[in-house]
Structure 1
C-alpha cells in the first residue's frame, strides 16, 4: 500500500504544470463540496430553527403589546368605575343614605352613563355589580342602574364565585369562559374581569363584586391571525393552569405547559427553548402579560422545520454543484495561460534561496501572476527594510545600554563614599567602616555585573536600597525609603539599572537640595491592563517645566548633568525594548516634590 501511494505521488510530481493545476483544482473544488454538504446537513436545521424563531419573536414583539394594551384597557375601565362618586359612596363606611336612595341619585345616573360609554366600546360587553343584600336594605335594584345591579346570590353557582369564596385573599380575577355560568356567557360575555369590594352597613361588612364582561373571541382571533400557523400553537394561560385564549379550537392542543413550568422556564431563559411534549420535540417561548397573571405561550414543532431544512440542503447542494462545474471549466482554461509565467517566476525565487532577495522587473500584466510578482517585490523591499531597521535598533540598544551603564559609574558617588569610609576609619568606627564597604561592594556588584542585561524587580529594589543606605551613612539618615510593591511583581523581569537613575536623581536634585536635606522616597508598583507601572515619588524641591523638558532631551543633558543622561538613557532603553508607549513619565511641582511613573509593557516582557 505504501508503494502504491508513492508511485501515485511520483507520477503526479512528473506531470506538466497545467495537468497539476487541473487536478489540484478538481481536488480543491471537490473537498469544499463535501465539507459544505456535511456542514449544511448538520447546520441547516439549526439555521432554519433560528430563522423561524427570529420570525416568531418579531411577531410576538407586536402581538404581546397588543394583548397588554387590551388588558390595560379593561383594568383602566375598572379603575374608572371604582374612582366614580357613586362607587365611593357605595363602599364608604361613612355612608348614611340607603342603597335605594343611592340608586336614584345623580351619582348613580353618572355611573350609569359611564357604564354605557364603556359598553359602547368594542371590548366591554357588560358591567355588573353583584351585591349581597343587607337585612334592612330592600328593593334597591332600581333607578338608572337597574340593569347593572344584581344580587350576589345569582353568582353563587359560578366557578369564579367559588374561587373568591375558597381563597379569601383573592381580590381580582381574570376569568376565561369556563369560570362563568351559562347565564353569564349567554347574556353578558364569555370572559370577565371581576374584582371584590366591601359594603359596610350598621358595622357589618357585606361582600360585593364588580364584573366587566368582554369577549374572549378577540384574543383567540388575535393569536390565530398573528402568531399561529398550520403547525404552530399559541395560547394564554393563567396562574390556575387555565387556558384563557388559544389560536386553536382545541385550546392548548398537544403542546400544553402548566403555569409552574412556564414560570420556571421564563425566569431562566428569555428565548425559545427546546422541550419534549407528549413525545414531540418542540421549541417553546413564554412571555409574561403585564397587569394580569397570564403567560403567552408559543410552541413551534420541530418536525416541519426539519423537513424544510432537508429541502434547503438539497437545493443548496444542486446550486453549489452547478457553480463548481462552471468554476472548474474556467480553472482548466486559465491554467494553460499561467504555466509559462509561473515557470519564469519560480526560477527567480529559487535564486533568492541562497542570496538576499532582489526585486523582479515590474509585471507586464496585472493578473494573478502579476500580483504574485508585485507581492514578491513588496516582500523583498519589506525584508530589506526590516533587516536595516533591526540593525539600527540593535545599534541604538547597544549604545543606550552602554551609555546607561556608563552613567551609573558615578565617580563622584564613589569618591564621596570612599571619603566617608576614610573619615569613619579615622574616627575608629570599625563596624561602620565594615558595613559601608560591604554595602559599597554589593552596590557595584549589582551595577557592574555583565552576566545579564535584565534583573528581577526584587534585585533592582535591593540595588536602590543599598544606594540609599550608603547615602544615609553619609548624610546621617536624612533619607527615608518606603517600598510598597506586591509580592507577585517581585519576580517580574525588567532591564537592569532601571530604578537607580531615577532614585539618584530624586536624592541629589530633589531631597538633598532642600535646606533641611531630609525627605522621603516612596516606591510602589502595580499591574494595569498590558503593562507594569512602577511609581517613584519624593518630597524634594521639585522641578519647573523647563527642567522637566530637559529630562527627556539627550541634547540638553550636558556633561554637568550626569543624572539626566542616565535618566534619558533609561527612558530610551525602555522604549527600544518595549515600544514607544513604555518609558518614564515625570510630574513635578516646585516646593512639593516629584513623581516618576516607569511604564513597562508586559507584551515585551523579557526573561532571565
Structure 2
C-alpha cells in the first residue's frame, strides 16, 4: 500500500483528476447496478420457484390420485372371485373352464369399460401358461403376448408391496408410451402361492403432458423414480436412463442448480416417484435482461462522458504534449531530422523539448558510428573469405606429392594424397555452404579412406544412397562430423576391435531420410534421451559439433528437420537426419551460395 501511495504522489495533477473522476463514477454506477441486478434476479428467481413448486404440487397430487386409483382397481381385480376361479383351473380341459373364463372376461370387460384411460387389461395364468385379454386394441396391435414378460421384468416396484409399474413404449410396437401396471395374483387361501399376473395398460394424461411439453417455453418436466431413473421426459431418448441430477433428489421437496438450469422437485406421497421441473438460466433471467441492459448502457454512457470531459481538459491544459507525440511519430516513421520548437512549448514542457532535441542529435551520431563499424566488419569478413577461396596452391602441391608417390611405386601414399585432395576440395567447395548429397557422400568416402589408413583398416563401411535423392541439397559438413563421432566415441574405444559404419539415404515423399549407424560401444537410453533433448539447446557439456550440425539444418529448413539419435540392434547408435527434398536453396541463407555439380 505504501508503494502505491508513493507512485500516486508522483502523478501529475491531470492524471490524479482523471483517475478520481473515473473511479468515483464507476464505483457509484457499479453499486447501483449490482444492487438493482441482485434484487431483480432474486425476486424473479423466488417467483419462478414458487410457480414451479405449485405446478409440481398439482402434478404430484394428480399422479398420486391416479396411482392410488390404479392400485385400488388392481386389488379389486385380484380379489375378484371370477379371477380367482379362473386361476384355479389347471387346464382348459377342466369341465367348468369355459364358464369360469367367460365370467372372468365379463369382469375384465366391465372394468375396461368403466375406465376410459385403460388401453387393455389381461390376466395371465401360470398353471395353464395362458391368459385372458380385453382391450380397446387387439392383440396384434398391442403385441401383448410377446411383450408383457419383458416389460414386467423391466418394471420396478413403485411402492412397498408387489405392485410394479413402468412408463414405456413397449406395447403398440413402440408407437406410443403407456403406463403399465403389474400386480401378482395370489391364492386368497394361501398367500404364498402365486397363481398369475394382472396386467393393465393406461394412457396417462399426466405423463403425456410431460412428453408434449413445449421446448420453446424453456421449462422441462420429468418423472424420476427414487433410484434416479427417468420414467417420463420430453426428450424420449432420456426415458429409461439415469438422471444426471439423481443424487440431488432428497426428501419430499427441494431445489438446486445444475448444468445451467434451476431444478424444483416434489415427491409423490407414498410412491417412489419425483416430479422434477426445471428451467434454463437464460429463460429464468430473460425478463431481467432488459433492465440489466439498460443499466449497462447507463454505466457505459457515464464512463464515456467522464472520460471525454477529462480528455478535453487534458487537451487544453497539456496541448504542448501533443506536439511531442507528433514529433515522436515522425521519428517512428523514419524522419530523424524531426525537432521540437521550444518557444511554443510552455514552461512545463520546455525541458522535455530540449531533451528530445538532444536525444535526436545523439542518435544521428550513434548511427554514423554504427555504419562505420558495420563497414569495417564487412571488410574483415570479405578479407577472411578472400583468404579461403584461393586453394590452388594446396591442390597443386598435393598433386605433385601424388605423382611422386606413383613414380616411387608407393601406392598407399598415392591413395592417401588423392583422398586428402578430394577431401579438402569438397571442404572448400568454392565458398559454398550448401551442396548436393552426392558430394557430401563423396566427402565421407574420402574421410573414411584417410581414417582407415590412419587406424590400420579397423573401420568397415557400407554406403547405399538411392538415385532419387542424390541431388537433394544438404548443408556442407553435415554427415562427416557424425561419422567422426562414431569412429572416435564408438569404434576406436573398443580396444582394437574392428567396427563398421553404414550410411544410407532414402527418399520418402517430399523428405529425405539419412541413417548413419555404427557398431560401436553405444549409449544408454538415458544418454540418448539427453542427447536428443540438448540438440537445439546451448550446453557447454554437450558436443559442439553435433549441435552445430543440427542447428544449421534448423536454420536452413526449419525446426521440423534435423537430427535424432536411437539405439540400434547391434548395440551401437543410429543417427537419423531428416531433410526436405529440395534441389535449389535460396543463396545467402548460410553465408554462401549453392554449388551445382
Q: TM-score per shorter chain, which class? A: 0.3 to 0.5
TM-score of the aligned structures, taking structure 1 as reference length: 0.37
